[in-house]
Homo-oligomer: A and B are copies of this chain.
Amino acid sequence: MNEFSTAEWHDAPPLSKEAFEAAIRAVGEERYHDKHPFHKMLHGGKLNKGQVQAWALNRYCYQEAVPRKDAAFMSRVHDRELRREWIHRIHDHDGLGEEGGGIERWLVLTDGLGLSRDYVTSRKGALPATKFAVEAYVRFVVEQPLVIAVASSLTELFAPAIHRERIAGMLENYDFVDESVMAYFKRRLAQAPRDSDFALSYIKAHAYTRAEQEACVDAVRFKCNVLWAQLDALHQAYVTGLVPPGAFTPES
């Protein structure tokens, strides 16, 4: 899954912590999904309602996978303090007690777009490529060394900018989107930086060799690919117009 080979970095000295962080951040410039044409169309008001519906119900699969990814990660962690830190990510998505959590806020968004909750949560209308991509992320954190698994979460470094842009662009451009349905992104503006600060500190402390550092950078590329592949699938199905058999078809 990860194309990276540690052999090529076997003899290289480790990067300084600053250079390591810079290499991680450079991945965002290179390939974060804000560079994808579908993203630009979404934020720029170039999509019709059916295309926004398709985006929201496919993206639900990603939202829904994230707490499972975090649980899969925790299932491998013998360090109780790390589990106690990481579990708040599950709380953020699933809620805790009275708090409904991010997935509930995502369903408020799909409600607002006129999609039935049963249909969205069944994931039956989602594109197979979406599901393959998000499950690859769940597997990645099971199969990779822990520090590399942590690194794969670091697309959160790039998320607040895209969320701010998304909130503004979608509110401005779509009459079927209002403040209430954008609650998910507003909450993530506060949550994502806490998470990425922790994950960045963690990998800086625990990636000791150049090979481990490069594998961390590659994990961020992998995660960008997971996000990019989702927009590719949406573009293919709902812009190019080749909707795969069984997938959501917008009403005329």
Q: Which residues of chain B come closer than 8 Å to A76, judged between CB atoms?
A: 68
Contact between chains at B83 and A67 (CB < 8 Å): yes
- How far is A35 from B249 in the complex, measured between Cα atoms in Å? 60
B94 contacts A87, C-beta separation under 8 Å: yes
Residue among B72, B75, B84, B94 making CB contact with A83, cutoff 8 Å: B94
Bound: A83/B72 CA distance, A: 13
Max chain B C-beta neighbours (<10 A), residue from A64, A83, A142: A83
- Chain B, residue nearest A87 (CB): B90
Q: What is the chain B residue whose CB lies nearest that of A83?
A: B94
Shortest CB distance A7–B (Å): 30
A68: chain B residues within 8 A (beta carbon)? 74-78
The CA of A182 and the CA of B12, in the complex, are separated in Å by 52
Bound-state Cα–Cα, A115 to B44, Å: 63
The distance in angstroms between the C-alpha atoms of A80 and B66, with both chains bound, is: 12
Q: Interface extent on A, as a size class?
A: 20 to 34
User: How far does the alpha carbon of A77 sit from the alpha carbon of B74 in the complex, in Å?
Assistant: 14
Number of identical monomers bound together in the oligomeric complex:
2
Q: Which of B72, B101, B123 contacts A75 (CB 8 A)?
A: B72
A138 CA to B76 CA in the complex, in Å?
Answer: 10
Chain B residues, Cβ within 8 Å of A142: 75
The distance from the CB of A156 to the nearest CB of chain B, in whole angstroms, is 19
Rounded to whole angstroms, the CA-CA distance of A142 and B87 in the bound complex is 19
The answer for the CA separation of A149 and B155 in the assembled complex, in Å, is 33
Residues of B within 8 A of A103 (CB): 80
Quick one: which of A67-98 are within 8 Å of B by CB? 67-69, 71-78, 80, 83-84, 87, 90-91, 94-96
Q: Once bound together, how far apart are the Cα atoms of A161 and B156, in whole Å? A: 47
Most buried by B among A75, A77, A90, A101: A75
Chain A residues near B (Cβ < 8 Å): 64, 67-69, 71-78, 80, 83-84, 87, 90-91, 94-96, 101, 103, 123, 138, 142
16 sampled A-B residue pairs with Cβ under 8 A = A64-B78, A67-B80, A68-B75, A68-B76, A68-B78, A71-B74, A71-B75, A72-B72, A72-B75, A74-B90, A80-B94, A80-B101, A83-B90, A84-B95, A87-B90, A87-B91
